[in-house]
Every structure is written in C-alpha cells, then in structure tokens.
Structure 1
Amino acid sequence: MTPKHRILRLLRDEGPLSRAELGDRLELPRTRVAVELERLMAVPLVHEAGPAASRGGRRSTLVELHPGIRFAGIDLGVTSIDVEITDGRLEPVAAFSEASDIRSGPKTVLSRVGEILVKLKDEGAYERLNGIGIGVPGPVSFRDGVPVSPPIMPGWDRYPVRELLTREYGCPVVVDNDVNIMAMGERCAGVARSAENVLFVKIGSGVGCGIFIGGELYRGPDGCAGDIGHIQVEPDDPICTCGNIGCLEALFSGIALERDATAAGRSGTSLALAQRLAAQGSVTAKDVAECAADGDTTATRLIRDGGGRLGGVLAGLVSFINPSMIVIGGGLAGLGHVLLGEVRSAVYRRSLPLATGNLPVVLSELGARAGVAGASFLASDFAFAEAAS
C-alpha cells in the first residue's frame, strides 16, 4: 500500500488530522507527508480543513478528504435494488430503494440502476462518482468483475458488469456477491467492527456466508468461498436450484420458508397461515414471523426447524474456522429471536466448548443497509488505491 493510499484510508477512517498526526500514525517523515498531501490536493482528493486545536505555540492545519468525493453503493437483491451515495468518509448523502426482479436480466436491471443514479445526481447528491461498488445475488469472479453461473440470475453468466459500469461512469468499479458486501458493511460499520474473525450469514432468498479471517475478507482463489447454502443437510429431497439434493438453501431460505408456509396453509395444519393465504393469495416470511409471534405453533416450528438446520451447518464451521463472532443478517433475520435462539442452541450444543465459550451469535446491526454500506467501503478502497498508484 502506497503512502498516498494509507493517507486516504486514514482520513476516511479517522477524519481530519494534522500533518504531524498523519506522520506519527503512518510513521513517515513530515516532509514525505507534505509531498504526498500536495499531490493529493492537486487531484483533488484532500484539502485543508482549518486550524487544529491549540497545544500551545503555533496551531497546525488540519487536512481532510475533499467534500466533493462521492461513492455509490449498489445492492442488487433477488427482488430489490438498493442504492446509496456516500461522501468520502462513507457517510450517507442520499439513498433510494425499490422492488425489482433480478431474473429480468442484466440489461433491464442495470438500465434501471442507471436511471436511479441519474435521479440522485439530478437531486444534487453528486457531481461525479469517484467509485462504485455493486453486489449481486450469485457467485462472482472478483478478479474479472462478472457473475459466474448464478443459479437464480438467468442471463447474467459472465455478463461484463464491471467493464460496462466503468465505461459508463469513468470511475473504478468493484463487483462482489451480495453476501460479501453485506459482511463488509457489518464488519466496517456494524456490530462486528471490533472483531477480526467473523462469519456473516445472510438468509434471504438464498443463504450465504461472508468470512473474515484476521480482519480480511476471505473469498477463496475463485471467489466462491462461503457458499454454505449448498452444503447438503439432508440425503434426499428437496431438489435445490443448483441441481443437487438436500441443500441447506432448499430446506431453509426465504423461498423455502414461503413454500413450506404455503403448504401448511393449504393443508390446514396452520389456521393462521390458512387465513392469510386465503386473504392474500400467498404467504411471506413476514407472515410466518407474525403468526409465530401470535402463538401459532406451526409457524414457530417452521422457524425453529430452519434455525436448527442453519445452526447445524454453522456448528461445523465453528469447529473448522473458530470465529470470534457470528452475525445473522438478510431478510429472514427479521424472524427475530425465535430464529436466533435456535441457531445459538445448535451452535453451542454441537460445537466444542473451547470454540463457543466466548462466541457471540447476534443479529445484524445495519439490517437492510449492510449491503450498500459494504459496497461503498469496497468502492472507496479500490478508488483510493487506484488514485494513489
């Protein structure tokens, strides 16, 4: 990492600092810091921010990231688009969310992303973008910036997402899967910011896991580490979207829970779910959570069964990785403490005491914002690295 890159990251994470403080923090001579700052001011990525607090004698001048820096964090879900514009310190400036269908294909979805960015620009959120981070709900070649054989994203295989966005917006673009950007958001700005070894589990339409080891996101050599939704937990049915049988995702995910809740409503096993199915024509994970909260035993059992299966998979990962924290996020985290209690129970029961004695299993702090926050953080890292090279 070059001195300029280190300066930019430090100002992003710590806020305005004097030249002397930068030199001390980075262990660089003040003359070197002065030279690097002049170069960054010329771009411009930093500027002077007024005098520092007096320590006696002449007051030094603070420097900070330029106020015009803007990053776009984009989180593409199976059924949603979330966009957030942040400043250089990753504080939100503007945001927009709407329902979408990832199966409508990359041209349709990315065209809509472009329209949203134009709307936010017209509203004054930014003049130009310094970097874009985007997450998609499927496997990604992080090196190439393309989705690879995503099972629930028809038409996206090898689609040049990074190349097209770079050409369109003239700034660095980073593409990752949605779980990794959510994990990054929670690690950098959420409940896991003080933990070095973290498993972030996203339970939504699919199931995945972001893995931090020693404070660094681990993607694996091909970018598909953490795809725990396709770990087999049953030897037979149901068939998963990946083509295999008995995967965790086929048994417990947003899609699986809606399938099982619909079956319970149709069979009359759950009167509460049957009433909602008759009134609405369908039932959702939110319906299951509300019915469970009202005391419906079938809805509660569906949540507990799913939490037990997820906890069983996580118990194996705890024995293998020995994380310092597990964070549960995604849409099904809204199932709340019934789900969390079952996951905790399975993890603590099936893992060795040495691995779980100081292991918190908690719900996401950022919630729906985790993805856009992580995408902006990744965008800033890549933009600062490119600007400092």
Structure 2
Amino acid sequence: MARESTLRFGAQTDEMTSLLRIVNMVRTGEAATRPEIGRVTGLGRGVVTQRVDHAIEMGYLADGEFGPSSGGRAPRTLRFRGDAGRIVVCALGALHIHVGVALLDGDVVDQEHSPWDIARGPAETLDKALSMIDEVLARTPDVPVWGIGVGLPGPVDFDSGRPVAPPIMPGWNGFDVRRRFEQRYDAPVWVDNDVNLLTFGERARRDDDRLDLIYCKIGSGIGAGLLSHGRIHRGVNGAAGDIGHVRVRDSDALCRCGKVGCLEAVAGGWAMIRDALAEIEAGATGVLTTAVADGEELTPELISIAAENGDALAIRLVQRSARVVGESIAALVNMFNPSVIVIGGAMAGAGELLLAEVRQRVYELSLPLATRDLTIAQSVNDRREPLRGGVEMVREQLFEVTFPRWFSDGRPSVVAIRGALEAVA
C-alpha cells in the first residue's frame, strides 16, 4: 500500500511538473500549438491534449486563433491568460506618487499620478497611495490582484521589504511597507529601490535578457541600478548601486545622510538647488534668478530645462554635476564592464549638455577595454517607465522565482509566496 501511494504521488508530481512546463512554454512563446508542445517535450499527443485541457481548466491557458497549416488541418494556437489577473505597481518618488495596473503579460492598462512629498511619513503617504490604487482597481473590479510591486526612493532590504535608513524619508526606517499592501489586497508584495524598477523597465524596453547595464538616476538624489546578464544585482542586503553616497575627493559638503562629501551632496538635484540659491543670493542673474524672484520653487526639472534653454547659471550647475557623476560612473565601468549606461531622472532633461560631460569623464577615466563596446544614452522620457519596470519585477518574482510553489493553486497567495521565499532563504 505504501509503495502504491508513493508511485501515485510520484505520478502526480510528474504530471504537475510537465503541466507547469507547458504553461511556461506558452507564456514565454517557446511553443504556441499542441503539436509544437509535443515536439519540444517529447510527450505523446494524448498526454499533451490532457495536460493542455488541464491548464485551460486551471485558468492559465486559452485557445487562440488557428495557426498556419503544414499540409493537414491547421492547428489551433494557445495563449497564456494574461487577463486572468492584475499586477499593481506603486512607484513612490521624493515628490510624487505614481500607481498603475497591468495585465499579467506586462501591459500597463491604467494609471494615476499625484504630486506628493514623501517626507510626510509612511502612514500618510501609504494612505494616499492605497486610495489611488483603490481608485484604479475600481475601474476593473472583477479581475483579482496577483501581485504588487512597490518602489521607494531609498535603500531597501529586498527580502524584508523594509527601507533601511533612507536619507530623504524621515520616519520610514524599518517600516513594514509590504504588510500594508498585503493586508489591503491579500496579494504577495515585493518592495524594491526605485532605480531598480527603472532598470527593469529598461531591460524590458530593450528586450535583451542577457544585458549588462547600469541605469544611473540623477534626480533629487543619485542612485544606480545594475543589470548583470539580464539579472538585477542587489547585493547581499539590497544596497548595490547606491553610488549617491560614495565619497567625492576633496569635498566637505554635508549630505542628508549625515556623512560628509557624498556624491549626492555635491551633484544631486537638491545640491544643485542649494548651490543655485547661493549663487542667486551672491548676485547671479538669468532665468533661475527671475523664477526665484517670481516666487517659483526651484526644482531639478526647472534647472535642467533652464540649462537646455541656455541659462548660464543652470548650465554651470549641470556641467559641474555631470563631471562629478561621470567620475563615479567611470569607477563602476571599470569594475562592472557594462555594455550600456542609461542616464535618467529629472536632470536627464538637460539632454546632451549633461550626457556630453558624463561621456567625457567616463571615457577619460575608464580602461579602454571597458569602454570599447560601451554605449551611454539618455533614458526614454516617459512617466510610465517605473510602472513598466515594477510590473517586470513582479512578473519575474511570480513566474521565474516562485511559480512552482503556487502553480497548483491556480493563482498566487501571500502564504505560498512567503513560504517559497523562506524555502529559498
């Protein structure tokens, strides 16, 4: 009897394993018809039919259009049910909240954006974010949430989903961001640094799963996301790429993190605002001076636009920032040897003025072999990029990291995902 039970369990396990593989083949485009599945897997026609029917019953697959005929009856294609669930993304910035909803195949179908100061603290900020998400979800109430991605503008321990001593986020240190979302939507949640979300978005846009890339965001602060052979490199605690707090030679500028001489305190957007106000007070003239006189608040975006339009003070600030950032990126290039560097964030709006200075310093200070096949480009100026990146991050966690753990349930759950992550740890 024990032997029969063991054999039955083994057969069920084999069936579920092959079923999972078939669903993944259709999801990734490796196979689109039943005959193709049979050729790739080596399974017989009857077994393939049985497995596919089971996958359709579970809600993972559906029949599509008829495919091209190879002489006989045209086979019916299969498609992954991207409409079976939704992915929610909440991208928190220093001065904004951006939320969106996507289908399981990655298409962002709805979004909302609102100005917001993240320094107002976690309780008030997450209350606002959750109300924005509720608004978006209410427009398609019958589709369940399968996963949620949250981006934060500061260091994040990816395993726990908690920010760690974020310089521009008072009151957020150690806050359990993940729990608020899990309790509200009863769906698994992943929390990551905002630059990593942008890096995921860049990977999806370039459609290259072997990409070696550095995404450098120059906004109010400075950070970098690292792609190694198509995979985000977070480091052991999630701090990889935090170049905003590397030391700049000969600088004694006080940083918001409490240290002295950080790159962000010399070249970040908030540092440029500080320097611009000091120069205006000392008598500088131009567009920025006029803006301040008119009661307009200086922002990194305003400085980058003024620089592109020829304002002398803004140009000086942008070029000085770009030179210092370029030096730090050059050190990363020598260590990491990427094929692509993407410059994003509010200051990227200065365009070629910023890129030219970064390129000059990188090529001047990096090894020739490290720059031989290197491209340095500006990010796509699209507000939806962090949403797309957040969706890609969640899709990776759902379908590449934890899928076998919850596959037999038909949809992911907080309990199954947490169990999968604990098993990996």
Q: Give the TM-score normalised by structure 2.
A: 0.84
Partner of 2:165: 149
Per-residue deviation, residues 174-201 of structure 1 (Å, max 9, x unmatched): 111111111111111x247476211111
Change (3 A) 1:267 1:14: farther
Residue 388 (structure 2) pairs with residue 388 (structure 1): no
Measure, in 2, the Cα distance between the counterparts of 1:36 and 1:217.
34
SS of the equivalent of 2:198 reads helix
**1:104-183 paired onto structure 2 within 5 Å:** 104-124=120-140, 127-183=143-199
Query: Which structure has the higher relative contact order (CA within 8 Å, separation 6+)?
Result: 1
Alignment correspondent of 2:71: 56
Change (3 A) 1:236 1:294: closer
Query: C-alpha distance in 1, partners of 2:320/2:172?
Result: 33
1:252-297 CA distance string (max 9 Å, x none): 1121122222222222223332111101343222332333233332
Partner of residue 306, structure 1: 321
Partner of 1:225: 240
1:198 and 1:325 in contact (8 A); partners too: yes
The amino acid of 1:167's aligned partner reads Q
* Distance of aligned partners of 1:179 and 1:63 in 2 relative to their CA distance in 1, 3 Å threshold: same
Q: Does 1:262 align with 2:281?
A: no
Matches of residues 221-300 of structure 1 in structure 2 within 5 Å? 221-300=236-315
Secondary structure at the aligned position of 1:368 is classed as coil
Q: Is the aligned partner of 1:68 residue 2:84?
A: yes
Indicate how the Cα distance of structure 1 residues 13 and 250 shifts in structure 2: closer, same or farther if over 3 A, else same. Answer: farther
The equivalent residue for 2:95 is 79
- Per-residue CA deviations over 1:19-59 (Å, capped at 9, x if unaligned) read 3444556x563667655544443332322223223232122
Higher-Rg member (1/2): 2
Judge conservation of contact 2:209–2:229 (CA < 8 Å) in 1. Answer: no
Which residues of structure 1 form unaligned runs of 5+?
none
1:315 aligns with 2:330: yes
Alpha carbons 2:308, 2:353 under 8 Å: kept: no
Q: Give the stretch that moved more between structures: 9-18 or 366-375.
A: 9-18
Alignment of 1:189-200 (within 5 A): 190-191=205-206, 193=208, 196-200=211-215
Give 1:295's aligned amino acid. Answer: G
The counterpart of 1:41, out of the listed 53, 56, 65, is 56
Which deviates more, 364-373 or 173-182?
364-373
- CA distance in structure 2 between the aligned counterparts of 1:373 and 1:216, rounded to whole angstroms: 16
Taking the aligned partners of 1:15 and 1:112, their CA distance within structure 2 comes to: 41
Q: How many residues align?
A: 386
Shifted more, 289-298 versus 62-71: the winner is 289-298
- In 1, the alpha carbon distance for the partners of 2:145 and 2:375 equals 38
**Secondary structure of 2:383's partner?**
helix
What is the DSSP-based 3-state SS (H/G/I as helix, E as strand, rest coil) of the residue aligned with 1:243? coil
Q: Is the 8 A contact 2:323 2:361 kept in 1?
A: yes
CA 1:73–1:28: 2 relative to 1, 3 Å: farther
Unaligned 5+ segments in structure 2 are: 1-16, 409-425
Identical positions, percent: 34
Counterpart of 1:29 in structure 2 is 43
Whole-angstrom distance in 2 between the partners of 1:24 and 1:202:
46
- Give the RMSD, CA atoms, in angstroms: 2.4
Q: CA deviation at 1:328?
A: 0.8
Counterpart AA for 1:246 = G
Report Cα offsets for 1:330-372 as digits up to 9, x if no partner.
Answer: 1221121100111011101111211112100001126332211
Check conservation: 2:219, 2:347, Cα contact below 8 A.
Answer: yes
Matches of 2:354 and 2:25, distance apart in 1? 38
Q: Check whether the contact 1:187–1:195 (CA below 8 A) recurs between aligned residues.
A: no
Quick one: structure 1 residues 170 and 231, their matched pair in 2 at CA, closer, same or farther if it must change by over 3 Å? Answer: same
Q: Which residue is equivalent to 2:114?
A: 98
Give the counterpart letter for 1:238 in structure 2.
A
Letter in 2 for 1:387: W
